[in-house]
């Protein structure tokens, strides 16, 4: 079985923008992200990104803009020798639809666990909101709750 680190996107991978991050120009990687993920990868972890993107339901941006941004992000990770296994995102608003893909619900984690043969008990979810931790707990993954835009090098000791 695989060990995984699940990552929230905004506030963990990139600097969170309260006005929504959906363009390459508005996207900035958080300090330390590449170094931390390279270390985790060298210890055998795979990576899955789980992110809520309600800006789609709010009609601020569209799926295609998310796809363009995610392609850019994946290419930058690849340029640093980091492989992201998958990105799951929820485009829904909690007030409008009762979906299971929006954190704190856990269907995206459940899909990844099944698809990538992940040992939940040996895996972690790094997030900056309680909903990230709640989703992790629902599937038996260890939550690591950080402050928004934390340098992940500061929490390496919690995993390795």
Closest alpha carbon to 84 in 72, 102, 99, 97: 72
Closest alpha carbon to 50 in 121, 117, 119, 139: 139
Helices and strands (DSSP H and E) totals, the chain: 4, 5
Q: What pLDDT is attached to residue 100?
A: 84
Compute the C-alpha angle 23/69/71, nearest 5°: 160
CA distance 129 to 147: 8
CA distance 78 to 65: 20
Fold of 3-158: Rossmann fold (3.40.50)
CA distance 112 to 17: 27
Domain borders along the chain are 3-158
Catalytic annotation, residues: 8, 10
User: Which parts of the chain register pLDDT below 50?
Assistant: none
CA distance 6 to 116: 12
Q: What pLDDT is attached to residue 155?
A: 97
Q: What pLDDT is attached to residue 150?
A: 96
- Which residues are paired to 88 by β-bridges? 50
Could you give phi then psi for residue 11, rounded to 5 degrees?
A: 100, -20
Q: What pLDDT is attached to residue 93?
A: 87
Residues 28, 64, 92, 60: is their CA dihedral positive or negative?
A: positive
Within 10 A of 58 (CB to CB), how many other CB atoms are there?
A: 12
């Amino acid at each position: 079985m695989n060990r995984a680190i699940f990552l929230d996107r905004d506030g963990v991978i990139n600097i969170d923008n309260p006005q929504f991050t959906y363009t390459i120009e508005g996207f900035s990687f958080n300090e330390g992200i590449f170094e931390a993920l390279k270390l985790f990868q060298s210890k055998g972890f795979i990576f899955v990104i789980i992110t809520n993107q309600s800006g789609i339901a709010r009609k601020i941006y569209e799926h295609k803009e998310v796809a363009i941004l995610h392609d850019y992000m994946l290419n930058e990770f690849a340029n640093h020798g980091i492989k992201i296994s998958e990105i799951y995102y929820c485009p829904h608003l909690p007030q409008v639809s009762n979906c299971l893909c929006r954190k704190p619900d856990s269907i995206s984690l459940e899909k990844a666990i099944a698809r990538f043969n992940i040992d939940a008990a040996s895996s972690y979810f790094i997030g900056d909101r309680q909903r990230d931790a709640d989703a992790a707990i629902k599937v038996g993954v260890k939550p690591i709750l950080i402050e928004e835009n934390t340098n992940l090098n500061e929490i390496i000791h919690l995993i390795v």
